[in-house]
Amino acid sequence: MLRVMVVDDEPPARRGLKRLMQAHPDVEVVGEAGSLDQAHQLTHALRPDAIFLDIDLGDDDGFGLIKRLDQVPAIVFVTGHGTYAPQAFDVAALDFLLKPVERQRLALTLERLRRYRHALELGGKVLDDTATVLPVVMPGRRRLHIRMAGQTLVLPTDGIAMLAAEADFTRIVMADARDHLVCRLLGQFDAELPTPPFIRVSRSLIINLDRVVRVRSQDKGRSLLSLGRSLTPIMLGRVATTRLRRALDGFQRVGTVPDG
């Protein structure tokens, strides 16, 4: 059951959103608030999975609520002003709905919430798909800064072994076997990562050529890819194998051992 809270200073808007949610049996509206202070108190008391949060709350705004919370649940902004979208992304909102909320659009948001909660239940480190990923060039090193509510995760790109798509999520696998599950499509990382050494070998996999240790040929044109001692080798299909070998042929690096 998805436990959500609705925050809007207009009672008709709260009633309308709750009415739309009634079509989803796995969604429970556990509370509603019409002001920032009330929302702050209820969030601490109810601990909802998500807050559907209006931005314009009379004398206050929804961004102020996020600043006051120690633990921020998933945030879905609901507003009549599309100009707030960049600020919503800055605080890593899970989604941004424009009033009047359409039934089909709400359904997409709720599905995103379900997947987000499922990933959390699996114990993964989940970052919001609206988090800003910034490629930052450091002296002799490049990093990804993944900005989310209240913190920034810094990942040196040379420490990334691969990125794998998992539905609407991307799992970033580090060379030391740590991984981070990011609620962001794999394709959104294509422009953020340097090419080379990163190469997308399939719809679901991006490989860091610097981390390739061995490519062993298998039957039917497949291959077994090793990315270091800490990681379990992965099987690549025929097309992915062809793309990887072509990339390696044009990528000069000491230590790569294509086999076969």
119 and 139 co-located in one domain: no
Q: Provide the CATH number for the domain around residue 34.
A: 3.40.50.2300
Q: Provide the CATH number for the domain around residue 159.
A: 2.40.50.1020
Per-residue pLDDT reduced to its tens digit, 14-55? 999 999 999 999 999 999 999 989 999 999 999 999 999 998
Which DSSP symbol is given to 166? E
95 and 15 co-located in one domain: yes
Whether the CA torsion 42, 47, 48, 52 is positive or negative: it is positive
108 and 146 co-located in one domain: no
DSSP-based three-state secondary structure for 142? strand
Last residue of a domain, one of 101, 123, 145: 123
77 and 142 co-located in one domain: no
pLDDT at 161: 92
Per-residue pLDDT reduced to its tens digit, 95-145? 888 888 989 889 988 988 888 777 666 654 444 444 334 333 333 447 776
CA–CA distances in Å: residue 207 to residues 97, 140, 168, 195: 35, 21, 19, 10
Of the pLDDT bands very low, low, confident and very high (cuts 50, 70, 90), residue 203 is confident
Range of the domain at 61: 2-123
Last residue of a domain, one of 100, 123, 146: 123
Last residue of a domain, one of 59, 88, 123: 123
148 and 228 co-located in one domain: yes
Helices 103-121 + 11-21 axis angle, to 10: 70
> What is the pTM for the complete model shown?
0.51
Q: How many domains does the chain have?
A: 2
Between 252 and 146, name the one with better pLDDT.
146
51 and 142 co-located in one domain: no
140 and 53 co-located in one domain: no
185 and 112 co-located in one domain: no
